[in-house]
Structure 1
Amino acid sequence: MPDHSKVYTKQTEMYDQMISKQPSMLEVIEEIAPVNGIDVIDMGAGSGRLTTVLAPHVNSILALDSSAEMLRIIDEKLTARESSNFNTRVADHRDLPAENNSADLVVAGWSICYLGSSNVENNVQNIETVMAEIMRVLRPNGTVIIFETMGTGFETPNPPDFLKEYYSLLENKYGFSHKWIRADYQFDSLEQADELTRFFFGDELADRVVRENLVTVPECAGVWWLKKES
């Protein structure tokens, strides 16, 4: 597999191109929590997959990521739109640079997994710390929505083994509701599908993309959500 830490610091433009081939998650978010006029924190915002679709509707949005290079892309995108209701900060999920009770909605897209993977030391403690931070910054009756992979290249959920413990914790320890959705990549050409899947997911998937002529690459995503009690 490619080194994702390198992707998030050195190959940000290519990463942004890849995720642009997936559908917007705005409708999925709004089915769980209305977004008009609220204050939002986007954890692990990356190049703005969620930040940029939420920004036109919310009162304010704070985009957090461990990569300053990713946040630079958000700054460029939203500045070009003349948006003034956003801020970006380099941050760790375990120490959010936000005041207590400052957000109506916290979203985290495909990022907490890097702390919750069973391949990571102290993964269970990591998740406990992250959940405490989320609850600290959420206002009473606020909502947290987490997106994670349920399998790339699969038409039905097939989550990686190293994330199953994390997903179980969300549902069974922390009480999150859960569903899965399709978030397929719709590439412009087979050549682009080959290039971008090989870049992020590695040779095995990319070889299958070429072999099966997959301009549309199936992706299953998990959605977990929890409302903070008043």
Structure 2
Amino acid sequence: MSARAAELAERLDVVRRRIATACDEAGRDPDEVTLVVVTKFFPESDVRALAELGVRQVGENRHQEAEAKHAACADLDLVWHFIGGLQSNKSAAVGAWADVVQSVDRAKLLRGLSRAAHERDRVLDVCVQVSLDPPGAAGRAGADPGDVPALVEAVRQAEGLRLRGVMAVAPRGEDPGRAFARLAEVAAQVRSVDPAATWVSAGMSGDLEEAVRWGATHVRVGSAVLGNRPTTG
């Protein structure tokens, strides 16, 4: 095992133990929580090393980087999640390689995603991204909680798309537990409409424990597994 692979193995073990401990404290089964390792800015070689260590769920934020990495790792049995901000003119391109698009925050994205699903002759899994920020916050992403029901219905009506649940990022400077509690309420509302939409994607390297406490089914972890991101890229 290379030095880098050994480092990744050690870091991955720490994160898996954090998830297991958080589940134990929340009275949950660790098998209920899926780890998505975010490999933004990291090379194909790291993706391959992670796959050797049993990682199957990989997250990417940037389309061009992800598209190239996906092609380079086509021989690996991976599930690719797009978790970055999505432009409507890039939605079809992202849908051409992603298995899951977690960042659907407006209906305008659905046409391109549906077209990609049709061209691939497969169902594309999507999550509705919910904003947990106050209105008007800088850099805000996600749908307003009040707009989620209409967006959920639009996803359910879109050809080739399967609603999996919700995704969110805790606002900076706020107790993540409070934010994830609000997300749990939205997730429950979504499940009341579509009981199969059980995914709650929440929590990253610094707040995954709070996310697990409030029902996260998927945590998106980058730096805790891969280390600090390279300064280039």
TM-score range, shorter chain: 0.3 to 0.5
TM-score by length of 1: 0.36
Greater fraction of residues in strand: 1
